[in-house]
């Protein structure tokens, strides 16, 4: 395999495959020389101009808007070319007859080194033989492989924005509030852990609690009185209204 990209996703995948018996990353390709050099002790590295033409799989772990352009520069015509994006369709790899998608549904930070065994790897390919190859590749990382076509993967990626990006931002707003009162941000961690644990046993619909769920307008008014930041007031109002609407028939 040739791995194209040197960002968080490429780094994490490479660290999983570096000691693999079944996957051999023969080359890492990137523009960023400094990042590229961190792969150098474990495999050969090259710029896009020096990309190998005899690997069996070309895996693109580049930014969404670079996928189309970079894929055009892959010299191989009969090899499997795959991108790792949740938001981009398989069509972005337009000039490749054997194309696919290999999307690990996770948030990647370079500082978090643990493995990907539980992470869903969403795969797609135009040909069934290529789908089998991607399934095997997925199994080298995870026990959780799902075949998901581009239209559904797009929605999955969108839902991940709600579940990961937006929830994280709400945690930031919560931590800001604590900071202003000189309360330690760790106070909220057990609550956050339980919020997630509950979702292993019941749907988020069933798990909902709080003043908006109960229709407790007195507490909501008190909260809005405490919130001096206009942005946070807007978030509070809109999410409370959205919760209310979700359960409107039950209140």
Half-sphere exposure in the Cβ direction for 63 (13 Å, CA): 3
Q: How far is the CB of 37 from its own copies (least distance, A)?
A: 24
Alpha-carbon distance of 192 to 178, in angstroms, equals 14
Cα–Cα–Cα angle for 41, 47, 50, rounded to 5 degrees: 100
Q: How far is the CB of 138 from its own copies (least distance, A)?
A: 14
Tokens of 8: 């968080």
Tokens of 115: 């493995």
Q: How far is the CB of 205 from its own copies (least distance, A)?
A: 5
Q: How far is the CB of 226 from its own copies (least distance, A)?
A: 6
Q: How far is the CB of 82 from its own copies (least distance, A)?
A: 20
Q: How far is the CB of 108 from its own copies (least distance, A)?
A: 8
Among candidate residues 56, 70, 150, the one with its CA nearest the CA of residue 103: 150
Q: How far is the CB of 56 from its own copies (least distance, A)?
A: 28
Q: Is the Cβ of residue 27 or residue 142 nearer to its own copies in the bound state?
A: 142
18: three-class secondary structure by DSSP: coil
Q: Is the Cβ of residue 41 or residue 200 nearer to its own copies in the bound state?
A: 200
Q: Is the Cβ of residue 32 or residue 37 nearer to its own copies in the bound state?
A: 32
Backbone conformation region of residue 109, classed left if phi is above 0, alpha if psi is from -120 to 50, else beta:
beta
Q: Cα separations (Å) of 246 from 78, 149, 167, 243?
A: 50, 29, 18, 5
Q: Is the Cβ of residue 36 or residue 188 nearer to its own copies in the bound state?
A: 188
Among candidate residues 12, 16, 40, 15, the one with its CA nearest the CA of residue 28: 40
- Bridge-based pairing of strands 121-125 and 99-104 is antiparallel
Q: Is the Cβ of residue 128 or residue 248 nearer to its own copies in the bound state?
A: 248
Q: Is the Cβ of residue 54 or residue 206 nearer to its own copies in the bound state?
A: 206
Q: Is the Cβ of residue 46 or residue 131 nearer to its own copies in the bound state?
A: 131
Measured N-to-C along each axis, helices 167-180 and 230-246 cross at an angle, to the nearest 10 degrees, of 130
């Amino acid at each position: 395999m040739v791995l194209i990209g040197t960002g968080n996703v490429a780094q994490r995948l490479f660290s999983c495959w570096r000691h693999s018996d079944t996957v051999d990353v023969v080359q890492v390709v990137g523009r960023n020389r400094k990042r590229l050099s961190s792969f150098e002790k474990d495999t050969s590295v090259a710029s896009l101009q020096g990309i190998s033409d005899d690997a069996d799989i070309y895996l693109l772990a580049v930014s969404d808007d670079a996928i189309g352009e970079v894929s055009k520069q892959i010299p191989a015509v009969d090899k499997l070319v795959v991108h790792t994006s949740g938001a981009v369709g398989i069509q972005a790899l337009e000039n490749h007859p054997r194309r696919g998608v290999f999307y690990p549904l996770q948030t990647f930070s370079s500082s978090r080194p643990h493995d990907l065994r539980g992470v869903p790897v969403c795969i797609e390919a135009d040909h069934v033989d290529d789908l089998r190859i991607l399934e095997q590749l997925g199994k080298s990382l995870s026990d959780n492989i799902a075949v998901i076509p581009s239209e559904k993967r797009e929605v999955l990626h969108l839902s991940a924005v709600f579940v990961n990006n937006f929830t994280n931002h709400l945690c930031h707003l919560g931590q800001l509030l604590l900071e202003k009162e000189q309360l330690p941000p760790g106070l909220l961690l057990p609550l956050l852990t339980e919020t997630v644990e509950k979702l292993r046993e019941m749907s988020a619909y069933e798990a909902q609690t709080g003043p908006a769920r109960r229709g407790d307008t007195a507490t909501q008014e008190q909260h809005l009185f405490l919130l001096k930041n206009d942005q946070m007031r807007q978030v509070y109002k809109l999410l409370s209204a959205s919760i209310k609407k979700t359960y409107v028939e039950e209140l």
